[in-house]
A and B are shown apart, each in its own frame.
Chain A
Amino acid sequence: MIKTRSAYTKQIKQLDGHVSVIGQAVVEDIENTAKAIGDGNKDAAQETIDGHDSFERLHRNVEDTCMTLMLLQQPMASDLRLVTASFRAISDLARIDEMAYETALLTEEIDLTVPKELADLLVSMADKAATMVRQAVVSFGNGDVADAEKVFEEDDALDALYEQVRVKVIEYLKNGTESATAAPEFLSVAKYFERMGDHAQSVADWSIFRATGSYRGRTMGEND
């Protein structure tokens, strides 16, 4: 339990680092799902599954740190923005990681490497989602609002990929081919990646809030 001001300053700096570590772990887990789907790399999927518990512990520890800082130190100004933005951003990152974990589990149960045209689309979605999360996390750390804004621009491409998957899945279901049996799972995974993009946007939004005190077009205190 921290009490003195110097310990507080140290913990604030550590918090910044922890968000970055969590963000990197999430990006790696998304990339692992891409490897599992694209190359049938079971080891990659297993890595994400094995790391899930320790990720959860880290996520909870950072949440506890934020709560403790708010309770005992009542941070203000840029510290307040860091603590509140971290608290929200790691929640988004945890949701993304949960979806990567679920996807990894699915690849253990079902072969998502065929049909290849669907697998390729999912890999493209995973790559896009990983890029968005990476950009959002980097902008969270360096306060670069322009970088954070790029995350929002990327989301349309991810949505377009999801739409392509959806259309293909419907085709497979209509044709009733052998591949149709795994079609619902392909659509579920595509939906996971599409939602990862939404959460990445949310992280980018918290990056902007951390840097500027504004979020979703509104500045704290402007209604007072």
Chain B
Amino acid sequence: MAESMSVKDLNLYYGDHQALKDITLDMPAGKVTAFIGPSGCGKSTLLRCLNRMNDRIEGCRVEGTVKLGDTDVYENYDVYELRRRVGMVFQKPNPFPLSIYDNVAYGPRHHGKPSKAELDQIVETTLTDVGLWDEVKDKLDHSGLSLSGGQAQRLCIARALAVNPGVLLMDEPTSALDPISTGLVEELAVKVAKEHTVIIVTHNMQQATRISTKCAFFYLGELVEAAPTAQLFSTPKDKRTEDYLTGRFG
């Protein structure tokens, strides 16, 4: 079931450098929320905070609250359970060097003890959901690394969805894909958001307008503005957003 996420008064430091400054933002359940902004503005850093991917970065310090539903994920919360509930898809497709079947089955195997029949069902259902089943059903034992870029990214999305997360984080998931694969992944993001809240970082503003219902603009570690997407892209309230969207930055 789709879950909401929120951050409040969030500050993040890499050593002495403050990468996020007093971020407060709600990401509604069952919707696609997009983060936009120039390189280095902190959008990917914030995304990684949402399932504590920054924890292992030396010198990284997080202050403030990050909530999944009503639960503060930085307060005595099991990080493995967190990453089951908050999945992630990266910029570059990164299938495990395992079979297509095992890529999808990897999560369910580690988060429960499903029977072979249950696992088969999960694999088929999830690959069908991402529109990959018909393409791979006859070669499930082939390596995930044998797939094309677009197929591999959809396999990674399937791998994340197989454990039924409440939230799916996507960090520029289509920047390495051709337009057709990009279109498929965008369709998928909108489709799965009903059951798995999608939070996406993108440099492609048209992508943000196409798929998100809420959009947040970041600049120099600050959340400048967050609004319904059509509103943000037509009538931004802050001059920095206006300048960024119209290409008159700096």
Would A78 and B213 count as touching, CB distance under 8 A?
Answer: no
Would A76 and B233 count as touching, CB distance under 8 A?
Answer: yes
Q: Which residues between 181 and 216 of chain B lie within 8 Å of chain A, taking CB atoms? A: 205-206, 213-214
Would A221 and B247 count as touching, CB distance under 8 A?
Answer: no
Q: How many residues on the A side are at the interface (Cβ–Cβ under 8 A)? A: 19
Q: Which residues between 211 and 244 of chain B lie within 8 Å of chain A, taking CB atoms? A: 213-214, 227-236, 241-242
CA separation between A76 and B183, bound complex, in Å?
A: 21
A80 interface contact, C-beta 8 A: yes
Kindly name the residue among B232, B235, B241 whose own CB sees the greatest number of chain A CB atoms within 10 A: B235
B246 interface contact, C-beta 8 A: yes
CA separation between A78 and B236, bound complex, in Å?
A: 8
- Chain B residues with a Cβ under 8 A of chain A: 205-206, 213-214, 227-236, 241-242, 245-248
Would A224 and B231 count as touching, CB distance under 8 A?
Answer: yes
Q: Which residue of the partner chain, among A9, A80, A222, contacts B228 with CB atoms under 8 Å?
A: A222
CA separation between A99 and B227, bound complex, in Å?
A: 43
Convert A68-98 into 0s and 1s, putting 1 for each residue whose CB lies closer than 8 angstroms to a CB of B.
Answer: 0000001111111100000000000000000
Q: Which residue of the partner chain, among B205, B213, B236, B247, contacts A224 with CB atoms under 8 Å?
A: B213
B227 (CB) vs chain A CBs: closest residue: A221
A214 (CB) vs chain B CBs: closest residue: B235
B205: chain A residues at CB < 8 Å are: 74, 76
B248: chain A residues at CB < 8 Å are: 9
Kindly name the residue among A5, A78, A80 whose own CB sees the greatest number of chain B CB atoms within 10 A: A78
Given contacts A213-B234, A213-B235, A219-B235, contact A77 B228 (CB under 8 A): no
**Can you list 20 contacts pairing A with B, beta carbon distance less than 8 Å?**
A74-B205, A75-B246, A76-B205, A76-B234, A76-B245, A77-B234, A77-B235, A77-B245, A77-B246, A81-B234, A213-B235, A214-B235, A219-B231, A219-B235, A220-B231, A221-B229, A221-B235, A224-B213, A224-B228, A224-B231
Would A222 and B236 count as touching, CB distance under 8 A?
Answer: no
A152 interface contact, C-beta 8 A: no
Given contacts A74-B206, A76-B205, A77-B241, contact A213 B246 (CB under 8 A): no
